[in-house]
Structure 1
Amino acid sequence: MKICPNCGRQAQDADTFCLKCGTTLANQPAPDKESIFCINCGERLPPDSAFCVNCGTPVHQVSTPQAPSPSKVQTAEKPPVDPKARKRKITIGIVAAAAVAAVVAGVLVIPSLFQSPAKQFVSRQQELFLDRALAAFEEGVDTFGTGQFSSDLTITANTDSSVINEYLRDSSIGLKLDLDQNSFQADASLTLMGSPILSGYLSYDQGRASFYLPEIQDTYYTLDLSDTIRTVSGQEVDLSGLTLPQLSGKEWRSLIQSYLDLVCAVVTEENVTVDKDVFFYLSHLGEECKGTRYRFQPKAEDVERMLRTLAQSLREDDNLRELILKVVNPDMLTEAFGPDIFQGYDLEAQLDDALLSLADELERYAADIGRQVEESGFTWDLYLEGGEVRMIQLYTSQSDSVVAYECLGREADGREEAFYVTAYGETQLSVNHTYTKKGTASNGTLDVTVPYGNVFGLSYDMDTGKKSPLGIPQGSFRIYSDQISGSLSLEVADTGRGSVEHTLRLQIDPSYVGGTFGSLTVTIDATETSSVKAPAVLPQDISSYSYDEYGALFQELGDAVYQDLIRNLEPLIYSSYGW
């Protein structure tokens, strides 16, 4: 009996290779019957060993002539493996990997290959437009739906006018903001030519407001808004529970997708036809292509059925009602301002009536709309080349108007897109987009041509994976037009100091601003978090002030702010107009 020195498997004396791992057994002497093996590392040891010479395990933990455990043998020194056996193992691994890859490819690719024409028609366009639009919508709702924002903003400016720059040098506007659903703090300051002119602090937290104008008056005022309203107007309110709604992008996206699915159900196997090896011409991009055309021409009953299904969903969709009510939150408003806030109307009942009324309208005119769509000869063509969308056209037989989309190339190598509307053979509006995209980084130009040939454009080079505290992707942007002698550009870049700088540059014909300047640069530096904090001053509660006392206080503060600002800003205003 032999024992494999690599894996410890027992083998017959006549075996040349281990049947488990392929290690050669030729010219390997069978183990001495009196030999022992270390159960820790698998080392073969002389019978009189006290400790394992490889790992030091005591001999009393060592067992006699039995094969070592494969998991332990791996740490022992291994004899050379026969190249043929290694080659066999590598080949088996490659075959196994290829099999797994084939299975994965089958799961991902084969279903799309066997999609029906109707599903192909819908899914291709959803992947191109709707999925990206819905993803951006979801991200936007999640960003703004939290109600959270925290940053210190510092705004500075300069021009190409040395006279104006005398006043803009060492001048800035500072704004520290910290917001959430229940509260906010804001600290604003104005510095002119290195001197602080005006500053102020304002806060709100669950019904209590505070404000402080240190350059005007060294008093930190605070008031309970519910008490103030009660004192001034006699109205009973409770503002402590007021909060911004928590919006979920995922919920709203799911809701929109569900209604889009209902609308897309108008596309069926009966109203979609497929023509292969069709030649078509991209008139705006100047390219002739050959591919597959999917033509969607709905029948009256298709449209009618879709509208009736949509109406039924509006009647029964509790999720739609819950999301709308979550935004309005009538229970919170009623608790805060009392039942009279809606002037006796039941907001939930009003919402139900509105949705039911819309559903009734859809059902009432479903047949007429369906008949009009079919009689108009409405046609929606989708052209694919090599599985890629190349052109989309929407038109009717009763009109010369066409709405179209054209596309060439791939994002990574450079893609050209054109969206346009024609009437009587003339282009009424066109949007041309040329760009490349790799990961979250993209650059390109977007030109909009309106009637009479006027062009407005945007060029950009940005990374949507790196956004500033203001939610703007880092990069460069430029807006231009053939109707304006000038341009507007924006640079957004990380300063490396825990903030992001937004540099807005305006190039303009000086005659538009009385010849005072031809360029203006405004810089907004935004930090990742705000340093705003309440004044270190004992607050004075004015919740019990009367109407006249409030009037006198705010009149005094307003006059002081006005006089202070006018006195300090007059020289800058006069110089900017050349006076």
Structure 2
Amino acid sequence: MAKCPNCGKEVSEGFRFCTNCGEKLEPVEPVQSVEPAAETVEEAPVTEPNADTVEEAPVTEPAAEAVTEPAKEEPASEVPVSVANEVPVSEAVNEVPVSEPAVEVPEEIQAAEPAPEPVSEVLIAPMMEEAVYREPAGAPGDNGQSRETPEEKKKQPPYFLIGVAAVVLIVIIGFVALGKVFGGFNPMQLLGGGTPGQKFLGYQTDYFNGKLKAMEDLGLLRMEDNRALTFTVTGEVKGNKEVAEYLEDSSLVLKTKTNLDKGNLQASLLVKLTGNSVLDAYGEYDNGNFSFAFPSIDKKLYTADVKTLLENNTGEEVQIPDLKKSKENRKLGKKLLAKYGVLLSKSMNKKNLTTEKGTFTIEHLDEDLKDTKYKGTRYTFKPKAEEIEKFVEKLADMMEKDKDLEKFIEQGAYGKYLELISGYGRNESTAEQLSDLAERLRDNAEDIGEELEDNNLTWVVGVEGKTLHEIYLFADNDDNGELDTEEESYFVLASGKDKEEVAEFFNISPDGYSSVVYLWNTYKKKGKTLDGTITGMLDTLYLNKTDYTIETGKKYQILPYGEYKFRDIEGDNGKVTLTVKAGKKNSTDCELKMSGLYDLDYNDIRSMTLHINVKEGADISKPKGKTEDITDYSTDELYDLMSEFSSEIRNIGEEVFGG
């Protein structure tokens, strides 16, 4: 147990930040406490999937329908496990009857002769360039200096595991891009739900399904195919009379309209200062064509074919998302998730997937929750090199022949992610990239298996009843079944509860020393009110301690009603408070107040308040005027055009404010 050097509160081993004040901490030795009785899982028969069934399986789109439909009664011995981990704002996901898996898994192939180059360099090198962690210079307590990395490690870190972490990030991005990719999705049903391997994967999928639904219920992931919003922003300041006068009759109006059924996105912006319109802008994306205008500066409407424009100026093939295929791609995403989930579950057996039934604690939570005991089951997946090699070969075969995967990538324009993984440029088609990646996987399957076994790849899942409490994916360098956060690469998710307090912890560390993703969230729920604190980091983006008191129970336009208090990142006296409440005519009013600015020397401004009204609906019309096609513009011509607009906007600012 360590103490925070800033506030003095005790903090559990392995924590990167103080859960009380957000102070960055030096690494400490972790201690894992487990009291299970080892037990071997009996291997259940796996029904061979049928690809034709999956093709025709209906997919429910809205998440709400899936969670409100009552489950059918089944005999206790046949009822599948469906997990709905407690989340801040959503009810538990009801169980859904299990159907047989409906996915065809390709036959095994003979391993190709492994390439002589190390798998770390051959397979993952391109991804590693993107996954390098940079310590955030602005994080409190480090004085802008990065921590030195130890020169020596016990073992070479598993680079393929780091690649897995990068893929996890890509998948998260994909979830956001797809919206309701899990809407109406029951992992146990699609994976079969009978074998320990299917349950092992199903618990995890269902957990994230519940989290996505919780965010959707809060309005944080409202990604309807057709939606229109109008944002009206006004402001006021104290301490500077001149600026205050400018803002008295000033406003910014942003309108957005999304119609994915037609593949159309529109936006307009109008800025008024002291009652005068000083800037008017318009933009539209319509099935691969982009148009924009600045009517207050130039009466022309500029248009371009985005794909051609980018390819002409980059010399590379460019993928453009087909917005009209968004719904179809979400269905493909569910189908692919089931297909590859079945493949992974088939690599699990009674030797490499074991269970420990009894009580366990979660060491990665703070001192108020770390000693809480949970009675349930811990699954541990620890495959051998030969098993990993065989899985990689099957994966390569499936990817190379998968037309659904190819279509999914092309319709969603995910070629950049494929390029990141494969290391090949976009001048190749998606089919060629998948083929190249498959060949690389086959050539290095043996090396991948040996490397992961050498680093003791370990994947642990802990559940109590139907509630998932922990996921650990790490390199067990000491081969003791315990995660060493100082020495080992890892992915950690922990969720615990003690009386009224709930804590959730999420961390990805590629080297056991620094984090690329970190999130700590604690809250208490009283009725429909959540009172909590969140601290986090995504690469170099650091989210300091943020307190929130919000209402739950219905979908909101932007954010849940309530109050959000943000601590000043620089550690000065600045305070930022966001208040969200119901506005007139079914709109939402947001008030963002920044105080303590006088000490920061902001032109004598003591405080600033922004009022933001958000309402459904947006009246957007395309500006009239001469149309100019800039599809064939060179890079220099585009630069000159943008410079001209920038200069005009700067002149407007100088004219209004002087100087």
**TM-score after normalising by structure 2:** 0.53
Q: What residue is the counterpart of 2:371 in the other structure?
A: 287
Q: 1:396 to 1:190 in 2, by over 3 A?
A: closer
Q: 1:174 to 1:328 in 2, by over 3 A?
A: same
Q: 1:199 to 1:408 in 2, by over 3 A?
A: closer
Q: What residue is the counterpart of 1:302 in the other structure?
A: 387
Q: 1:254 to 1:522 in 2, by over 3 A?
A: farther
- Shift of residue 480, structure 1, vs aligned partner: 2.4
Counterpart residue identity of residue 376, structure 1: N
Mapped pair 1:155 → 2:229? no
- Shift of residue 200, structure 1, vs aligned partner: 5.7
Q: 1:268 to 1:480 in 2, by over 3 A?
A: farther
- After superposition, the C-alpha distances for 1:224-250 in whole angstroms (9 at most, x for unaligned) are 879xx9xxx9xxxxxxx9975531233
Q: What residue is the counterpart of 2:205 in the other structure?
A: 126
Q: What residue is the counterpart of 2:111 in the other structure?
A: none
Of structures 1 and 2, the one scoring higher in RCO (CA 8 A, sep 6+) is 2
1:430-449 correspondence to structure 2 within 5 Å: 431-436=519-524, 442-448=530-536
Partners in 1 of 2:520 and 2:565 — Cα distance?
Answer: 16
Q: 1:504 to 1:406 in 2, by over 3 A?
A: same
- Shift of residue 521, structure 1, vs aligned partner: 1.9
Q: Any idea what SS the aligned residue of 2:585 has? A: coil
Q: What residue is the counterpart of 2:270 in the other structure?
A: 189
1:152-301 correspondence to structure 2 within 5 Å: 152-163=230-241, 164-180=243-259, 181=262, 186-199=267-280, 213=295, 244-248=323-327, 249-278=330-359, 280=361, 282=363, 284=365, 285-289=369-373, 291=375, 292-301=377-386
Q: 1:151 to 1:456 in 2, by over 3 A?
A: closer
Whether the 8 Å contact between 1:170 and 1:192 is mirrored in structure 2 is yes
Partners in 1 of 2:522 and 2:447 — Cα distance?
Answer: 41
The structure richer in helix per residue is: 1
Q: 1:282 to 1:554 in 2, by over 3 A?
A: closer
Mapped pair 1:502 → 2:590? yes
Q: What residue is the counterpart of 1:476 in the other structure?
A: 563
Q: What residue is the counterpart of 1:19 in the other structure?
A: none
Task: Identify the match of residue 407 of structure 1 among 495, 498, 504.
Answer: 495
Partners in 1 of 2:511 and 2:413 — Cα distance?
Answer: 46
Larger radius of gyration: 1
Partners in 1 of 2:452 and 2:279 — Cα distance?
Answer: 64
Q: Any idea what SS the aligned residue of 1:352 has? A: helix
Q: 1:165 to 1:308 in 2, by over 3 A?
A: same
Partners in 1 of 2:643 and 2:468 — Cα distance?
Answer: 65
- After superposition, the C-alpha distances for 1:111-135 in whole angstroms (9 at most, x for unaligned) are 4499544344333233223564599
- After superposition, the C-alpha distances for 1:525-559 in whole angstroms (9 at most, x for unaligned) are 22211133467xxx5546699x9xx9999999998
Q: 1:520 to 1:289 in 2, by over 3 A?
A: same
1:362-511 correspondence to structure 2 within 5 Å: 362-386=441-465, 388-399=467-478, 400-401=484-485, 403=490, 404-409=492-497, 413-419=500-506, 431-436=519-524, 442-448=530-536, 456-460=544-548, 461-463=550-552, 465-468=554-557, 471-480=558-567, 484-485=571-572, 486-511=574-599
- Shift of residue 367, structure 1, vs aligned partner: 1.7
Consecutive unaligned residues in structure 2, runs of 5 or more: 1-69, 83-192, 313-319, 416-424, 479-483
Aligned length: 431
Partners in 2 of 1:387 and 1:540 — Cα distance?
Answer: 62
Q: 1:210 to 1:353 in 2, by over 3 A?
A: closer
Counterpart residue identity of residue 435, structure 1: Y
Task: Identify the match of residue 352 of structure 1 among 408, 421, 431.
Answer: 431
Task: Identify the match of residue 612 of structure 2 among 513, 518, 524.
Answer: 524
**TM-score after normalising by structure 1:** 0.59
Per mean C-alpha deviation after superposition, the further-off stretch among 197-206 and 478-487 is 197-206
Partners in 2 of 1:287 and 1:445 — Cα distance?
Answer: 21
Q: Any idea what SS the aligned residue of 1:467 has? A: coil
- After superposition, the C-alpha distances for 1:396-437 in whole angstroms (9 at most, x for unaligned) are 442544644433238x95422234579999997964322356
Q: 1:293 to 1:494 in 2, by over 3 A?
A: same
- Shift of residue 107, structure 1, vs aligned partner: 6.4
- After superposition, the C-alpha distances for 1:420-464 in whole angstroms (9 at most, x for unaligned) are 57999999796432235699975532234899xx98223332548
- Shift of residue 311, structure 1, vs aligned partner: 0.7
**Percent of aligned pairs sharing the same letter:** 22
Q: 1:277 to 1:152 in 2, by over 3 A?
A: closer
Q: What residue is the counterpart of 1:95 in the other structure?
A: none
- Shift of residue 155, structure 1, vs aligned partner: 1.4
Q: Any idea what SS the aligned residue of 2:386 has? A: helix
The structure richer in strand per residue is: 1
Whether the 8 Å contact between 2:240 and 2:603 is mirrored in structure 1 is no
CA RMSD of aligned residues (A): 5.2
- After superposition, the C-alpha distances for 1:28-47 in whole angstroms (9 at most, x for unaligned) are xxxxxxxxxxxxxxxxxxxx
Partners in 2 of 1:514 and 1:298 — Cα distance?
Answer: 59
- Shift of residue 567, structure 1, vs aligned partner: 1.8
Consecutive unaligned residues in structure 1, runs of 5 or more: 1-100, 234-240, 331-345, 575-579
Q: Any idea what SS the aligned residue of 1:246 has? A: helix
